[in-house]
Chains A and B, each alone.
Chain A
Amino acid sequence: MAFDLTEETLINLLKTKPAHAVLDALRAHPQKVRRVHAKAVVSLYAAYQESRFSGGGVSIADDEALDIGLLATATLTDLKKVGYFPYTRQVPLETVFAALQPEWTQAFVDHFVTSNPNLVVRVAPLWRAGLATRPEGDAIILGYYALYRGDGEDEAELLKHDVWRFFEVEGGGEFSLANHDKFVKQGSESWQARLVDYADAGKLDRQRLLDVSLEALARDFGQYRAGWYTRFHTALAPTPEETAARAERYLGLLGSAVPPTVSFAMKAVQALDKAEHLAPGVILDGIEPALQARAKGTVAAALKLLARAAQRDPNLQSQAARLAMVALICEDAGVQGKALDLIERLSDSAQDADRAALAEYADLVAPSLRPRIAALSGVTHNAVSHAPPQDAAAPPTAQPVHPVGSAEDALALFLSVLETPRDPIEVERAVDGLARFGAEWAADAARLSPLRKRARQIWDKPGDGLIRAVLALTGRALAEGTPALALLADAPEIWGLTSPEASTLQRVHLRRNSEITEQVCAGHDLPLLSLPSDTSGRVAATDLRTRLAAYRAADAEPAPTDLALALMRLAPGDAVPDAVPTDAGEAERALAYALGTDVPAGPTAEVWAAAWSARRSSAKAPEIAALFETPLPGCGVPVTYTLDVQRTESPDGAYFWISVAVPVTPKLPNTADVLPALYAFQPPDTVHMSFNCGMTFADIAWASLIMPSDPEPFFRQGILMQDTWQKLTDNHTRAFLEPFLRPGPSFGPLGAGLLAYDMACEDKSVSSLAAEAAALVLLQGRLSVADFADALRAFVMSGALPTARWTKAFAAMAESGAEAHVRELIARILTFPGPDTPRDIGGMLELLYELHVAAGTSLDRPETCACLETIEGGGKVAKFSKKLRALARVPADVC
């Protein structure tokens, strides 16, 4: 008997009674009466869900009772709003719906089936009970790919209709047949096994399954998901007769965009060809896509089929020769050679048009094959030189960096780098603009308002880059008239800025900018001492003198961090040390010291350490070291670095990885927040989370300008920070290669090491840039081939990374015009004893051979020849070591 359904009684019921009792109580009331209380129940439901996660005080005796209350009162819109999820334990869902008869039952089913395939299994009882109609879209099929089994009374529908749609509905994300079977729980049956069982039991038409699985492979399914259909087709184990009946379908799949599907089809076509179930003409009509496949194995197999077809039907020889030409597009010289073998065999029937077409491939095949093409086509080949771009080999010229010219331009530039601080020179120009025009901005609140607002917004959400936070804080400091470091003191913790133990170069950047904003707030309009004079990032001594004179004229003390940074950026050897005036301030004295004049040091230790760094001296300077309580690296104490590359194995030998360390000598503590020490050395010797250059491209790019004349410590960080297996959308480690792309000095062993390491990165954005940078600096003569070869040898011989990665990078370098350097580099790597032969070095030997053939040169290093004599390995290694030795121009007893 129905009781009076007031809000209070209902809420009390839902809070205290079990699910069965609630359902019995509510079924007696019509939907219209129940719905009046929807708002209260929805609120209770929402509050209960909240309290379950946040530990609130809503108490419910049986949470399933609350679910029933919600279904009894709410609309489907309400359910969606509160995130209701169909899940019942004691009272089946169909019982609840049968009792309550909501008018939106069908919409409920449609919504949950389409919104989440995992829920198909939950709502299926509703259509089984006749309370709704089953939706007939793809979502039902995705339900099978999730948890829906389609067994029991659903099996008939599965076998009659649904299973055939498995071959039309690809799915995606976590819902696909491939994913289902890959992650099927132990004890559960995969769809592949189940369908094969059905076919074996005669419940499914085996012939139709064979057909539809091939049809599915002809659709544009993704590679991962298409794999299920090839595996399923293979699991059906088609007989030779069944395969023969589908010969043209297999042939058609040779044109698939999915390489494993092409391989699968190729195997079937090979079997059909062997059994002569395919006419030669049919093979020729369908083989072209396989001849242009990216996988060299597929192309090689297709060429074999072509050869057999031509042999079986000699009338097809000229057509086969034309088709073989198509395979010359393959990048692999071995496959190109096989295609040419076939063309040569069939060349008697070649027409003039064929010869002309063949000549078009002359530039595309390996140099060693070009004479064969010339002979076949009758066209003399003019080799295309991979001449470097006109500007590549020219010594790089630094362009002057022009300070920003007006207050408005300065503000615009600062706002621009606040958004995108990827160009460090622009960042420095912006800070210089602030130093010179900031006082003018500060006098006009309206003018400063965009900076005030934007700096605050960015400071609130700076993202990963510390440099944006630094620039935002700099802008705020100016706009709010408060020193940046004071603002920082009130800020929540930001790793790398607020925590002194995580010393980063951006802390130095912030310190400098804070000093500058204080100077501006004091009314000064003075230049930034550390503004690079040109695009090399260095500060010319004459410029620094001029800037210091401006400070003297304004009776202002240079900001110490700005001065220290300016001294570290000082261009070497472009100014003769002056006699130091007797009234010279510390800044002038430090500059004179940096330029080689011995003057008494102190008192600002960081400034003098920077001045000592600028000397690039390898000798200890006791007068500088004494300015610090304990000796610090790079502060009067020179440090040296060693590159150490090892292959490390797991204890059971099953796994190995590369370990790269760059130990520093002498071992010194580095706990001080002092610029030269921070730059020179960051503990420990191996990779560590305390990356002092930062974690984004913009941070690292700015750090690359700390000491442009000596990037070796910067490269050390780049080596320690590299993870060769990591692929990123915007790989920040590319910023460590920035110095190679700027005008500047020659590079040392760590620069060579960084290039060698980065060339082997999995991330092509890094490896391509490293190869390009290596070619560039070799062509410019800024990197010695010997140093680079030493570094490359250390990495290649470690055996910790695939040698093929360097081979690819060398090929790219050769294409950039550095063929001669690549020849020499590979030759210098080939100096190991036979037993130490690295894996997969065959490709590198092949490249060396082809480069020599292309250039008409030969091996002339006895050490290389000796190495080739003892090198171990068959196949490509043996083939090309022999060919290379045949090219050698050294005494016969060596090669």
Chain B
Amino acid sequence: MAAFDQTYRYAGSSALRPSAAGQSLRLVSDQSAQTDGPAHFLSARALAPDVTAKGLRAVSEVVGARFYTPPSMVARLLREADPVATVSPGAVRFEGFSACCSVYARMDLGDDALDTTTRRNGTTNVDFGPELRAALAGVGPETELELGIGADAVDVTRDGARVVERKVPLPLRWVKGFGQVQVALAGMAPVFTLSRLRAQRFLRALPRGASDHAQWVALAPGGAARLSTRPATGAVPLRGGHRLRVLEPMVARAEALEVHHDPGTQATAWSLVFGAQRFTLVLNAEPWRGFSGDGGLLSNLATSDGAATATVRAWLNWQERIDPEGLCGATALEPGEVQSALAELAALGLVGYDLGQGGYFHRVLPFDAEQIAALNPRLDAARALVAAGKVTLDGTEATVESDDVVHRVRPAGDGWSCTCPWYAKTAGGRGSCKHILAVEITLETCAWPLT
């Protein structure tokens, strides 16, 4: 199955309309994912309205964008997926994932960015059409902007008064990547920070057109960003730099641009900081590569018995920042088990990762978690190999018979190496191959003293 149908049900269209106080942004939430409780998530006043509006526009732009177009996809350029909004005690977040699955965007509105009247914890898709994007362009710093998220329709609805249903075939890799990107974020470390003006200059210097060649960005003397065609110490890779153009309309209002990097997957995160608000753009190493295929979590899943994950999951309660140490104390799990469980929950769409506060937060992606859990064909293939008795262990290495080929799996550094083409191409940078996973699964049940 390459896609599943996600049906968005909206009681009208989101809109920005004049209100008694100024402007009222009513984001209509998706009714299909509602479970219980009132349908209204948020009523608040934006304290830095132009930043909030620009951030929401940017998230929506990413969701509608395809930064890389495979030749077969020309006819399916337009994507109709919508951003996801999460309301939790400390923040309101809007997330989106590009149609090509290589860019993730999130606008985090901290408590100090909103004057909140009502709030209900929850996660929902929000309708976000092109008309709304255009309207948000006019929000200035002096605009009084009321922000509402709820299932109730605004005064004028699209297509009369009908509930609007849009059935969107969401590619599985899109949904899977949404969770996987949180795992990539958790593996990132800060590399450098650019001041507003330096960030502005850097973004202006990027080519306007699509550019796929490999580049590296490093901090130069004086605090400027230096683009180079060669890797260097302290530099982060930037391939498909045109993807960063999403940041350009916002950077003039930012305080700084923070850059994070995951050396494992080579993914990078670019966060514009606006006081209590933060817009983060996460780029996968290559524009044509989706986060879904990175598989950094597969080893955890392969060896997980599910108990630790279930225990941690039971403790989730819309925490704005999940404290791993606290969880260890509360659950009697080891720190490694907690981290592993959190990563697994991230992949399932149950927690997100906030780079600004360096920790996970609870939210539930409004997609079918069962389907997300079933999206690991590599792991399925590994289990099939184990079930078929294709794994043989000896003192120093393992052999895995697969398709008339005997692959050798050997310890290499902190992990494993394999003789299959996947490993030869990625060297483990995009997760373990099915042969390594099969060995790891087998080792869970066999004592194998490595010498």
* A residues whose Cβ falls under 8 Å from a Cβ of B: 168, 170, 172-173, 215, 218-220, 252, 255, 257, 285, 288, 292, 294, 326, 329, 331, 360-361, 363-364, 384-387, 389, 408, 411-412, 415-416, 418-420, 446-447, 449-454, 729-731, 734, 741, 764-765, 768-769, 772, 815-816
Binds A, one of B352-360, B417-425, B437-445: B417-425
Most buried by A among B75, B213, B404: B213
B128 to chain A, nearest CB (A): 12
A450 to B405, Cβ gap below 8 A? Answer: yes
Q: For B162, list chain A residues within 8 Å (CB).
A: none
- Looking at the complex, which one of A173, A285, A816 makes contact with B140 (CB distance below 8 Å)? A285
In B211-230, the 8 Å CB interface with A consists of 211-215, 220-222, 224, 226-230
- Looking at the complex, which one of B61, B221, B427 makes contact with A386 (CB distance below 8 Å)? B221
- Looking at the complex, which one of B134, B211, B222 makes contact with A765 (CB distance below 8 Å)? B211
- Looking at the complex, which one of A220, A451, A729 makes contact with B134 (CB distance below 8 Å)? A220
A355 to chain B, nearest CB (A): 16
Cα(A146)–Cα(B129), bound, Å: 24
A408 to B408, Cβ gap below 8 A? Answer: yes
Q: For B226, list chain A residues within 8 Å (CB).
A: 815-816
Q: For B134, list chain A residues within 8 Å (CB).
A: 215, 218-220
Q: For A731, list chain B residues within 8 Å (CB).
A: 213
- Looking at the complex, which one of A257, A389, A450 makes contact with B232 (CB distance below 8 Å)? A389
A173 to B77, Cβ gap below 8 A? Answer: yes
Cα(A364)–Cα(B211), bound, Å: 25
A5 to chain B, nearest CB (A): 38
Given contacts A329-B200, A360-B197, A364-B197, contact A450 B406 (CB under 8 A): yes
The closest CB in chain B to the CB of A741 belongs to B230
Cα(A734)–Cα(B405), bound, Å: 37
- Looking at the complex, which one of A252, A419, A447 makes contact with B421 (CB distance below 8 Å)? A419
Q: For B228, list chain A residues within 8 Å (CB).
A: 772
- Looking at the complex, which one of B197, B211, B403, B406 makes contact with A447 (CB distance below 8 Å)? B406
In B377-407, the 8 Å CB interface with A consists of 397, 399, 403-407
B221 to A387, Cβ gap below 8 A? Answer: yes
Top 10 closest pairs, chain A to chain B, by CB: A765-B213, A384-B222, A446-B406, A769-B229, A450-B419, A415-B424, A219-B134, A419-B424, A449-B405, A729-B212
* B residues whose Cβ falls under 8 Å from a Cβ of A: 61, 74-75, 77-78, 130-131, 133-134, 137-138, 140, 195, 197, 200-201, 204-205, 207-208, 211-215, 220-222, 224, 226-230, 232, 248-249, 252, 397, 399, 403-408, 410, 417, 419-421, 424-425, 427
The closest CB in chain B to the CB of A326 belongs to B252
Cα(A712)–Cα(B302), bound, Å: 54
Cα(A255)–Cα(B204), bound, Å: 15
A385 to B419, Cβ gap below 8 A? Answer: no
A412 to B131, Cβ gap below 8 A? Answer: no
A117 to chain B, nearest CB (A): 10
- Looking at the complex, which one of B138, B220, B248 makes contact with A252 (CB distance below 8 Å)? B138
Given contacts A326-B252, A446-B399, A730-B212, contact A363 B77 (CB under 8 A): no
Cα(A49)–Cα(B137), bound, Å: 52
Q: For B204, list chain A residues within 8 Å (CB).
A: 294, 329, 331
- Looking at the complex, which one of B74, B208, B404, B419 makes contact with A173 (CB distance below 8 Å)? B74
B425 to A449, Cβ gap below 8 A? Answer: no
Q: For B130, list chain A residues within 8 Å (CB).
A: 168, 170, 219-220
B425 to A764, Cβ gap below 8 A? Answer: no
A768 to B200, Cβ gap below 8 A? Answer: no
- Looking at the complex, which one of A218, A363, A416, A447 makes contact with B222 (CB distance below 8 Å)? A363
B441 to chain A, nearest CB (A): 21
B45 to chain A, nearest CB (A): 21
B406 to A449, Cβ gap below 8 A? Answer: yes
Q: For B229, list chain A residues within 8 Å (CB).
A: 734, 765, 768-769, 772
The closest CB in chain A to the CB of B226 belongs to A815
Q: For B213, list chain A residues within 8 Å (CB).
A: 729-731, 764-765
Q: For B61, list chain A residues within 8 Å (CB).
A: 220
Cα(A292)–Cα(B196), bound, Å: 13
A603 to chain B, nearest CB (A): 41
Q: For B404, list chain A residues within 8 Å (CB).
A: 449, 453
A450 to B420, Cβ gap below 8 A? Answer: yes
Q: For A449, list chain B residues within 8 Å (CB).
A: 404-406
Q: For B201, list chain A residues within 8 Å (CB).
A: 329, 331, 364
Q: For A447, list chain B residues within 8 Å (CB).
A: 406, 408
Cα(A360)–Cα(B222), bound, Å: 11
Q: For B77, list chain A residues within 8 Å (CB).
A: 172-173
B442 to chain A, nearest CB (A): 18
Most buried by A among B138, B227, B404, B424: B424
A140 to chain B, nearest CB (A): 15
Q: For A292, list chain B residues within 8 Å (CB).
A: 200, 252
